[in-house]
Amino acid sequence: MKIVVPKETRTGERRVALVPESCKRLIGKGIEVAVEAGAGEPAFFSDDSYRAAGAAVEPDRASLLAGGDLVLKVQPPSPEEVGQMRPGAMLLTTLLPIRNLEIVRALAERGISAFSTDCIPRITRAQAMDTLSSMSNIAGYKAVIIAANELSRYFPMLMTAAGTVYSAKVFVIGAGVAGLQAIATARRLGATVTATDTRRAVAEQIQSLGARFVGVESEEDAQTASGYAKELSAEYYRKQAELIAQQCAASDVVITTALIGGVKAPKLITAEMVQKMQPGSVIVDLAAEAGGNCELTRPGETVMVGGVKIIGPLDLPSTMPRDASMLYSRNLTTFVLAFWKDNSFNLDLTDEIIKGALVTHQGRIVHEPSRAALESSEPKV
């Protein structure tokens, strides 16, 4: 089997899907690896470092993709890249299929067996393959660094000759991997942290990091069997809105991380809530790529509304490309080697991980949510 790694083409993307240490590991198992020239340079991995690991470095992307049995990428492929892949080849990437339905359709038409890392089930034996967690850890950390840089005051409490400066108050919405890392980072910087989540099970995790948990008193629980958040009743969301409004008004920094089903960003912070926040406050909306948790967020931009700075960062892991690439690469390598049997990739359609991650196969869209979304978007005859 030949694994190929093209250079990422999306504007601003600096990660690479496979780093030299992973190439060496895969090659040691009898897998051929080829990398497009310059693919690792934005993440500070030179072509020579790939050659030293035993990988081939190829200058032409089209021929690289055409010769690959398994294509590894960070971002979804472009239509051009899909057209350059060999029919019947496999693709492993963060596809986010619900957000990229036309690419899903193109992959099916090309006969590509596409695996989406964001669809890998959250089970124990898949933890080391979980790119969402790896990248969310970075996003949660970086969100706090951005907030600290943009805030007009200190994060920690300082006692000076001129008097005491009290610690900043940080409110984190959503305590998944990104939220928990944001809590931990804000605490390390000395902030007073409060956090909320619709899943009652995470209250203990929040408290273990030194933050205070606040939540809606309700019998409803938003945690699905797979560990994601699900939608709740209108009454629950009414109470949640009241809680969020109170906490936003009392906070210097608000970091939002909430997604439903891992892809949909609920609108949790209204324009009215922003108006009641103190001038100089900062909102970092980590759900910006999915439309944002704040209704005033502009994805990829920073806006000032009534003295409140609202930041909608995109692709934060790419701002730390070396570590992000290393972690992502290890996730993909674990996935590949988990199904590497007798010198071939075992595409076991009965395996829970394969079934969950597979989006297209043999000309069909096998990921039910994607198929349903495409069918619903087609004009009725």
Domains annotated for the chain, with CATH where assigned, are 2-129+320-377 (3.40.50.720), 137-314 (3.40.50.720)
Read off the tokens for 154: 């200190």
Contact indicator for 268, 240 with CB cutoff of 8 Å: yes
- Look at strands 169-173 and 344-345 and give their pairing: unpaired
> What pLDDT is stored for residue 263 in this prediction?
74
Helices (H), 114-192: 131-150, 177-188
* Tokens found for residue 298: 């502009």
Catalytic choice (49, 133, 205, 218): 133
| Cα(84)–Cα(240) distance, integer angstroms | 48
Of the residues 10, 86, 122, 322, only one is catalytic, namely 122
Distance CA 355, CA 333 (A): 18
Amino acid 224: pLDDT = 55
Per the annotation, the verdict on 133 as an active-site residue is: yes
CA distance readout (Å), 64 to 3, 18, 72, 77, 86: 10, 15, 12, 14, 10
Residue 236 bears catalytic tag = no
pLDDT at residue 198 in the model: 86
Catalytic-role residue among 46, 60, 127, 348: 127
pLDDT score at 85: 98
Q: Is 228 noted as a catalytic residue in this protein?
A: yes
Q: Are 338 and 124 in contact (CB under 8 A)?
A: no
Q: Please confirm, yes or no, whether 122 is among the known catalytic residues.
A: yes
Distance from C-alpha of 230 to C-alpha of 210, rounded to nearest angstrom:
26
- Determine which one of 25, 84, 110, 130 is catalytic: 130
State yes or no: is 362 an active-site residue.
no
Three-state SS string across 28-45, please?
A: HCCCEEEEECCCCHHHCC
According to DSSP, residue 167 is labeled: P
Catalytic site residue from 49, 51, 69, 228:
228
CA–CA dist 197, 260 (Å, integer): 12
Q: What is the pLDDT of residue 230?
A: 58
The helix or strand, by DSSP H or E, that contains position 364, with its residue range, turns out to be strand 364-365
Whole-angstrom distance, CA of residue 16 vs CA of residue 5: 8
pLDDT of 89: 98
The C-alpha R_g of the chain, in whole angstroms, comes to: 22
pLDDT of residue 37: 98
Mean pLDDT in order along the chain per 10 residues (381 residues): 97 97 98 98 98 98 98 98 98 95 97 97 95 97 98 95 96 96 98 93 95 84 56 83 96 95 87 97 96 97 97 97 98 98 94 97 96 80 46
How far apart, in Å, are the Cα atoms of 281 and each of 89, 152, 285?
Answer: 50, 8, 13
